[in-house]
Amino acid sequence: MLKVDNVEVSYHGVILGVRGVSLEVPKGAVVALLGPNGAGKTTTLKAISGLLKTEVGRVTAGSIWYGEMRLDRFDPEAIARMGIIQVMEGRRVLEHLTVEENLEVASYARRRGRSFHARLHRVFEYFPRLRELRRATSGYISGGEQQMLVMGRALIAEPDLMLLDEPSLGLSPLMADEIFGIVKRINQEEGTSILLVEQNAVAALDLAAYGYVMESGRVVLDGPAPQLKANEDIKEFYLGFGSLAQRKSYREVKHYKRRKRWLG
């Protein structure tokens, strides 16, 4: 479905965001994109969704393909109408609108024949709490409820591919588990392909069939999710097992040297 081929991204023509990134998201699959802060994960998502253009960024090398269409030549609104919807980090709700009004805004990106009310009913099946809050002002609901809202807003647009950026960020463990469970249901019941950026590597690899690890703007490791979970480097650096977990100094963690096979 989606192929990112050796992509380089720059901002303002001088700042290199990512370099030589390649990844694929098969139709109907969940793929995880892992890595520390500043690795280039969000930049990669914005390159796919076209939102780089809102930040004076652009793809300066490589290509991004969605079936037979080359995405990096389209504006973000055209990409959204193709069925690619990004759920951005930080729960970007329209704070002065009600929950239902937020959901209605997304109906303008719908490409199929189902009515807004039919789709709204389906969203409420995934997120019953939103039904209770439909008249509430979005800026006054909890962080977990706002995360439900932005995911529900994406579902209103009936995406074929959903780009999820840190859906568990700032949530309690219980709420994060609920969100991950809903992501799994959306994938299985709607057939929606998902590219998931997430720092909770355990949860992400439990959901995904395949994963990529980014560092310093490029992919340094990839493989089937069970293989990544068993990888000693992943277990030590991202999952908190092994000798790194015993180190007391953050400085030691920050300057931890990955094995040479990571970078090839």
Supply the DSSP symbol for 152.
Answer: H
Both tokens of 70, joined, read 């080359």
Model confidence band, residue 90 (pLDDT cutoffs 50, 70, 90): confident
| Domains in the chain: ranges and CATH | 2-230 (3.40.50.300)
Characterize 33-64 residue by residue with b for buried, 16 or more Cβ atoms within 10 angstroms of its Cβ, and e for exposed. bbbeeebbbbbbbbbbbbbbeeeebbbeebeb
Tens of pLDDT along 25-64?
Answer: 999 999 999 988 888 999 999 999 999 888 888 899 999 9
Res 116: pLDDT: 83
Q: Would the pTM of this model clear 0.75, i.e. be above it?
A: yes
Give the C-alpha distances (Å, rounded to integers) separating 174 from 50, 91, 127, 177, 180.
33, 18, 15, 5, 10
Nearest to 65 by CA among 154, 135, 10, 3: 3
Mean pLDDT of 57-77: 92
Structure-block tokens of residue 7 = 């992509």
**How many C-beta atoms surround the C-beta of residue 215 within 10 A?**
18
Tell the residue number behind the tokens 């300057």, with chain if given: 255
Confidence of residue 111 (pLDDT cuts 50, 70, 90): low
What is the per-residue pLDDT across 132-181, written as a single tens digit (0 to 9) for each?
Answer: 999 999 999 999 999 999 999 999 988 999 999 999 888 888 999 999 99
